[in-house]
Chain A
Amino acid sequence: DAGVTQSPTHLIKTRGQQVTLRCSPKSGHDTVSWYQQALGQGPQFIFQYYEEEERQRGNFPDRFSGHQFPNYSSELNVNALLLGDSALYLCASSFGNRGFVRNYGYTFGSGTRLTVV
């Protein structure tokens, strides 16, 4: 049973560029949440997608945007990259039913390590 798949695993971009990160949720999951994890810090919530719509959003600027496709996979786009955007970006999947999350938690991917130079 494949878990959460993220691509690419590593990425180096130049300040000002744009980047797209991809996530395929665990089979049977329909909700995708994105997190930014700086070195030595906890994951910071970016946003969550359910039924192809952004359901919740954390305290991130509009440079961070996303999309969810009909097959539940998701993309995270970051425009006008800043040095401070360098981090591990984690995707977590779950089933939309809140009862599910409260019983089984989130399944995380291994992340995409983004370095902005």
Chain B
Amino acid sequence: QQPVQSPQAVILREGEDAVINCSSSKALYSVHWYRQKHGEAPVFLMILLKGGEQKGHEKISASFNEKKQQSSLYLTASQLSYSGTYFCGTEFDDMRFGAGTRLTVKP
């Protein structure tokens, strides 16, 4: 029931782009994206709803393919502050999270 994320880890230079993918075996109401920095709580970034509505962050965008039950998070022109572990959460009856993608942005 947990979503599957890929890749497991990404290393970028400042200004580069990254894509993180999330897929589920179940039909979903929504997909959430969270970022967790080391030793801190996960922070809500973005939610994608059935029907294509998207709510979230300025420089981070995402897509949600309902038919394929997949979502992708796009981080463009990455900044050092983007470093952290990104989790997708898929909502059906409750919220289940993927194993995370560790993103490291280097100067």
Binding site for B on A (CB under 8 A): 4, 33, 35, 40-45, 48, 55-56, 58, 90, 92, 98, 101-111
A105 touches B29 (CB 8 A): no
> Contacts A102-B49, A103-B55 given: A43-B42 contact, CB under 8 Å?
yes
Given A43-B97, A103-B47, A108-B42, 17 additional A-B pairs, CB 8 A: A33-B95, A45-B94, A45-B96, A56-B93, A58-B94, A90-B42, A92-B95, A98-B29, A101-B91, A102-B47, A102-B91, A105-B32, A105-B34, A106-B34, A106-B89, A108-B41, A108-B43
Chain A residues whose CB sits within 8 angstroms of the CB of B97 once the complex forms: 35, 42-45
Assign chain B's interface to a size class.
Answer: 20 to 34
The count of A-to-B residue pairs whose CB atoms sit within 8 angstroms is 63
Binding site for A on B (CB under 8 A): 2, 5, 29-30, 32, 34, 40-44, 47, 49, 55, 87, 89, 91, 93-100
